[in-house]
């Protein structure tokens, strides 16, 4: 190689190194500039871009986060509605202003129902049934004017399909992160399902999608998008959330917190039954305990040699009855660790405990009760048991207003999983009744005369508060001013899990003893229930457990729903005065029409009750009152 050539190449090498150093310096400068810009932008975003929820006081740093919250919590799918209605930017702009205006009036944006308060509206919100009616309202150009001043949401939401496509690209996430945090997850992506196998004990072996229900409580939804929890399929009416590839990341990000929340509530619930005082109250409830005792001891053809499962055994009193009646084996399931230990010791003390060695074939075994500490949904993880191997399923699962505590879902799970075809479930029927009550069913009479002093001012305020919350108390049957009507009946042997939540109607008329052509005030309605041990299974001795105001009181009492204002009722023979409003003293209602919904609340193990009331006058005129929402918690 010549000297000149070597010098030339050396010069070129030095030139390239200098250029690379300059490029590196430029790159460092650009990165520093970009970081500085990002920091400035971030500061601006933190200070200026706070997006206020359309329905509540929550604020978010991005439109996507806000719309996810609205969809998951308030059943308002902004992007879905835009797509269904084909809204352009201006139509979407109008939609935001329209919803804000309706919320400000405590009115449902979807169905138009006017609620009494913001809290009532929050409870009422539901998935939209027909959004096409909303599009007609959006033709009004008044919604082009911002309803809320300085509403940054109006100028920040995505306005075109290109943005949507870009969003879809940005929602990809790593399965490994989900695997690390959440156990088994099945992700529905349009028509394909991608399942990741994990080792989480709480995961249901069927394909499920981790989804977040309103208020952050976890449900497991099958590929048909129906919410399930504790073995119960809630159906679309239980506020299910449609699967959307965009929503996967937001759902999964909160799933761990939600699952821990449900576990915490369950632990607290089962821990509450560790108090012996509660069990004394239940066992001392003679109506309750005698009904079960009679059903188990007075029907030998049912119990003799039967395999019995007792769901939620507590002290084990029902299991002891079953063993006493001649059952060959009793599987007593109790989720409270303390009460499972107590039930085991009680079975031992009475010579009825079945040890593991006994169950493995000891012919001298006299014990038949085996206590298992777990939730019934996890039973096969605790003991070896064949599906559909139980002859009788017994449980005292009823809560206030029958359905509070949500234990019926677990009983139905046990029925479908462990009960033999044609096996008995005790009780096998349940019925909810409703009737109207008068002034004597309120606290008003007490406050009207307190040692000779009129304190009715307090009574009125108490009555107003009572219209906001359900009250569990005893109603004297003398205070009922209407007939009783059946609201809903359940056949526990055949009902489907998604039938636990229901909407039903009832018609009430003034009682016969009030039909003296005088009006009387109905201050609200009272709910109670009966469960039946019918001749379908209890052939020798059927029985009924009633919590009616007409029967001796039980620890369940009754559930009282108070009207915001009393409704005057009277016989259809009452002559109304002119055009007075129906439900007043001048024109009392001859009938009260009710539409009541009872459903699982967003708070685990609680129920929501909605009450719609209308009065019908003797002349056929009708008057309706605003819907009332109650939460039994």
pLDDT exceeds 50 at position 549: yes
pLDDT of residue 566: 96
pLDDT of residue 626: 92
Cβ-Cβ contacts under 8 Å for 595 (sequence gap 6 or more): 503, 504, 505, 611, 612
**Which residues are bridge partners to 399 per DSSP?**
402
pLDDT-derived band of residue 269, with 50, 70 and 90 as boundaries?
low
Could you report the per-residue pLDDT of 563-613, keeping only the tens digit for each? 999 999 997 677 666 688 999 988 899 999 999 999 988 777 788 999 999
pLDDT-derived band of residue 124, with 50, 70 and 90 as boundaries?
confident
pLDDT exceeds 70 at position 357: no
Q: Which long-range contacts (CB under 8 A, 24 or more apart) does 350-354 make?
A: 350/320, 352/320, 352/323, 354/329, 354/330
CATH architecture of the domain 429-632 equals Distorted Sandwich (2.70)
- Whether the CB-CB separation of 317 and 325 falls below 8 Å is answered with no
pLDDT exceeds 70 at position 267: no
pLDDT of residue 200: 33
Give me the active site residues, please. Answer: 396, 405
276-394: CATH topology is Rossmann fold (3.40.50)
pLDDT of residue 91: 87
Could you report the per-residue pLDDT of 280-317, keeping only the tens digit for each? 999 999 999 999 999 999 999 999 999 999 999 999 99
Q: Which of 426, 391, 392, 411 is nearest to 312 (CA)?
A: 411
- Taking the C-alpha atoms of residue 308 and residue 419, their distance in angstroms, rounded to an integer, is 9
State the average pLDDT for the chain: 78
Mean pLDDT value of segment 100-122:
87
pLDDT exceeds 50 at position 170: no
Q: Where in the chain are the domains?
A: 51-153, 276-394, 429-632
Q: Do domains 276-394 and 429-632 have the same CATH topology?
A: no
Could you report the per-residue pLDDT of 210-252, keeping only the tens digit for each? 333 333 333 323 333 333 344 333 333 333 334 454 454 444 4
- Whether the CB-CB separation of 555 and 278 falls below 8 Å is answered with no
**Which residues are bridge partners to 232 per DSSP?**
229
- Taking the C-alpha atoms of residue 309 and residue 368, their distance in angstroms, rounded to an integer, is 11
Could you report the per-residue pLDDT of 488-508, keeping only the tens digit for each? 999 999 999 999 999 999 999
- Taking the C-alpha atoms of residue 619 and residue 503, their distance in angstroms, rounded to an integer, is 28
Could you report the per-residue pLDDT of 41-71, keeping only the tens digit for each? 444 444 445 889 999 888 888 888 889 888 8
Mean pLDDT value of segment 97-123:
87
pLDDT exceeds 60 at position 511: yes
Q: Which helix (H) or strand (E) holds 103?
A: helix 89-104
pLDDT of residue 261: 61
Specify the 3-state DSSP secondary structure of 442. coil
pLDDT of residue 62: 86
Could you report the per-residue pLDDT of 422-436, keeping only the tens digit for each? 999 999 999 999 999
- Taking the C-alpha atoms of residue 632 and residue 602, their distance in angstroms, rounded to an integer, is 11
């Amino acid at each position: 190689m010549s000297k000149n050539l070597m010098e030339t190449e050396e010069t070129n090498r030095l030139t390239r190194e200098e250029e690379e150093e300059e490029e590196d310096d430029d790159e460092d400068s650009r990165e520093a500039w970009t970081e500085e810009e990002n920091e400035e932008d971030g500061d601006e975003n933190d200070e200026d871009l706070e997006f206020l929820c359309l329905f509540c006081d929550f604020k978010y740093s991005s439109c996507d986060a806000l719309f996810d919250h609205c969809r998951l919590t308030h059943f308002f799918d902004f992007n879905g509605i835009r797509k269904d209605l084909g809204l352009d930017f201006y139509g979407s702009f109008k939609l935001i202003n329209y919803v804000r205006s309706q919320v400000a009036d405590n009115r449902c944006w979807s169905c138009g129902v006017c609620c009494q308060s913001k809290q009532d509206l929050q409870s009422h919100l539901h998935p939209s049934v027909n959004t096409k009616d909303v599009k007609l309202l959006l033709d009004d150009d008044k919604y082009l004017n911002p309803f809320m001043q300085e509403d940054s949401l109006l100028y920040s939401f995505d306005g075109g399909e290109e943005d949507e496509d870009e969003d879809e690209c940005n929602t990809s996430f790593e399965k490994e992160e989900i695997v690390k945090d959440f156990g088994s997850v099945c992700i529905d992506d349009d028509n394909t399902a991608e399942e990741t196998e994990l080792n989480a004990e709480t995961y249901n072996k069927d394909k499920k999608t981790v989804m977040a229900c309103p208020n952050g409580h976890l449900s497991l939804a099958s590929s048909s998008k129906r919410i399930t929890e504790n073995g119960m399929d809630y159906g679309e009416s239980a506020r299910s959330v449609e699967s959307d590839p965009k929503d996967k990341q937001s759902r999964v990000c909160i799933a761990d917190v939600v699952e821990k929340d449900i576990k915490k509530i369950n632990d607290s619930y089962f821990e509450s039954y560790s108090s012996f005082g509660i069990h004394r109250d239940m066992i001392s409830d003679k109506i309750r305990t005698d009904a079960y005792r009679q059903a188990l001891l007075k029907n030998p053809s049912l119990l003799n040699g039967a395999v019995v499962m007792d769901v939620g055994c507590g002290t084990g009193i029902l299991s002891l009855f079953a063993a006493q009646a001649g059952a060959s084996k009793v599987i007593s399931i109790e989720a409270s660790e303390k009460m499972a230990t107590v039930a085991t010791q009680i079975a031992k003390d009475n010579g009825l405990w079945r040890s593991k060695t006994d169950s493995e074939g000891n012919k001298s075994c006299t014990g038949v009760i085996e206590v298992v500490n777990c939730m019934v949904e996890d039973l096969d993880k605790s003991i070896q048991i064949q599906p559909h191997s139980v002859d009788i399923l017994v449980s005292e699962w009823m809560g206030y207003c029958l359905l509070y505590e949500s234990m019926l879902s677990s009983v139905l799970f046990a029925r479908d999983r462990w009960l033999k075809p044609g096996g008995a479930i005790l009780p096998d029927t349940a019925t909810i009744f409703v009737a109207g009550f008068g002034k004597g069913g309120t606290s008003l009479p007490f406050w009207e005369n307190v040692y000779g002093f009129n304190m009715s001012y307090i009574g009125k305020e108490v009555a107003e508060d009572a219209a906001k919350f359900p009250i569990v108390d005893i109603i004297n049957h003398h205070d009922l001013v209407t007939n009783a009507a059946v609201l809903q009946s359940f056949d526990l042997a055949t009902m489907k899990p998604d039938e636990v939540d229901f909407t039903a109607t009832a018609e009430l008329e003034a009682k016969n003893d009030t039909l003296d052509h005088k009006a009387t005030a109905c201050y609200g309605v009272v709910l109670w229930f009966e469960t039946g041990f019918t001749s379908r299974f209890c052939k020798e001795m059927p029985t009924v457990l009633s919590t009616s105001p007409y029967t001796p009181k039980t620890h369940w009492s009754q559930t009282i729903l108070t009207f915001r204002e009393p409704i005057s009722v009277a016989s259809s023979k009452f002559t109304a005065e002119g055009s007075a409003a129906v439900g007043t003293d001048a024109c009392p209602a001859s009938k009260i029409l009710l539409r009541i919904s009872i459903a699982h609340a967003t708070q685990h193990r609680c129920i929501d009750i909605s009450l719609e009331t209308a009065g019908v006058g003797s002349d056929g005129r009708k008057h309706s009152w605003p819907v009332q929402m109650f939460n039994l918690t």
